[in-house]
A and B are shown apart, each in its own frame.
Chain A
Amino acid sequence: MSEVIFEESTDTLLEVNSLKTYYTTKTGYVKAVDDVSLFLDRSKVLGVAGESGCGKSTLVTTIFRVMPRNARVMGGEVKFKGQDLLKMDLKTFRKEIVWKDIAYIPQASMDVLDPVYKVKDQMLETILAHEDVSRAEAMERIFRTLESVGVPQEKADMFPHELSGGQRQRVVIAMALLLNPSMIVSDEATTALDVITQAKILELMKSLQESRKFSMMFVTHDLSLLANVSDSIAIMYAGKLVEFGDVEKVFSNPLHPYTQLLIKAIPDLRVRKQKKLVAIPGFPPDLENPPKGCRFAPRCPLAMPVCSEKEPEFSKVEGFHYVACHAVNKK
Chain B
Amino acid sequence: MNKVIRDLLSRKTFIFSIVVILFFAAIALLAPVLTSYNNPYQVSQQFVAAPYAVPAWATIFPQYHDLPPDVRLTLTPVSASGVTPVNSSFVKITVPAGGEVNVSYPIRWNWSSPYNVILSFILVPPATSDFNVNLYMNNINIMELSPVPIPPAVSVTLGKPNSITFSSQTINPSNSPYVNSLPFQDQPLASLEFPKAVLPRPGMYYLVISLQNTGNSPETFLLSNPHYTSLGYAYGRLGTDDNGGSVFSEFVYGARFDLYLALVASVLIIGIGLIIGLLAGYVGGFTDLTLNALTDFFLLIPGLPLLIVLISIFDLTGVIVNVNKAVLILLIISFLSWPGTAKIIRGQTLSLRSRTFVEASRALGEGKLRILFRHIVPNLMGILFAQLAYDVPGVILAESGLDFLGLGIIGFPTWGNMLGFATNDLSFANGFAWWWVLPPGIGIILLSTAFYYFGTAMLDVLSPYKLRGE
Contacts and interface: CB of A to CB of B under 8 A. Distances in A.
Interface in B445-467: none
Contacts of B470: 25, 69-70
Contacts of A70: 469-470
A69 B467 CA distance: 14
Contacts of A23: 469
Interface in B420-470: 469-470
Nearest to A25: B470
A18 to B, nearest CB: 25
A68 B469 CA distance: 9
Interface in A1-52: 23, 25
A68 B467 CA distance: 13
Contacts of B469: 23, 68, 70
A129 to B, nearest CB: 28
Chain B: number of interface residues, binned into ranges: under 10
Specify the main secondary structure of chain B where it touches its partner.
Answer: loop
A23 B470 CA distance: 10
Contacts of A25: 470
Contacts of A68: 469
A10 B106 CA distance: 107
Interface in A52-81: 68-70
Nearest to B10: A26
Interface SS majority for chain A: loop
Interface in B145-203: none
A70 B470 CA distance: 7
Nearest to A23: B469
A227 B142 CA distance: 112
Nearest to B468: A68
B7 to A, nearest CB: 12
Contacts of A69: 470
B467 to A, nearest CB: 12
A69 B469 CA distance: 9
A31 to B, nearest CB: 16
A70 B468 CA distance: 12
A73 B470 CA distance: 17
B180 to A, nearest CB: 80
Interface string A65-103: 000111000000000000000000000000000000000
B262 to A, nearest CB: 32
Interface in A263-318: none
A70 B469 CA distance: 8
A69 B470 CA distance: 8
B10 to A, nearest CB: 9
B75 to A, nearest CB: 68
B100 to A, nearest CB: 87
A113 B229 CA distance: 80
Nearest to A68: B469
Interface string A130-169: 0000000000000000000000000000000000000000
Interface in B30-68: none
A23 B469 CA distance: 9
A318 B393 CA distance: 71
A23 B468 CA distance: 12
A25 B470 CA distance: 8
B162 to A, nearest CB: 80
A59 to B, nearest CB: 18
A258 to B, nearest CB: 26
A99 to B, nearest CB: 26
A40 to B, nearest CB: 29
Nearest to A26: B470
A108 to B, nearest CB: 13
B452 to A, nearest CB: 24
B461 to A, nearest CB: 15
A181 B470 CA distance: 33
B468 to A, nearest CB: 9
A98 to B, nearest CB: 23
A25 B469 CA distance: 8
A241 B381 CA distance: 45
Nearest to A24: B470
Nearest to B470: A70
A78 B48 CA distance: 76
A62 to B, nearest CB: 16
Nearest to A70: B470
B13 to A, nearest CB: 16
B406 to A, nearest CB: 48
Interface string A104-139: 000000000000000000000000000000000000
Nearest to A69: B470
A22 to B, nearest CB: 14
A25 B468 CA distance: 11
A198 to B, nearest CB: 25
Interface of A: 23, 25, 68-70
Interface of B: 469-470
6 smallest beta-carbon distances between A and B, as pairs: A70-B470, A68-B469, A70-B469, A69-B470, A25-B470, A23-B469
6 contacts: A23-B469, A25-B470, A68-B469, A69-B470, A70-B469, A70-B470
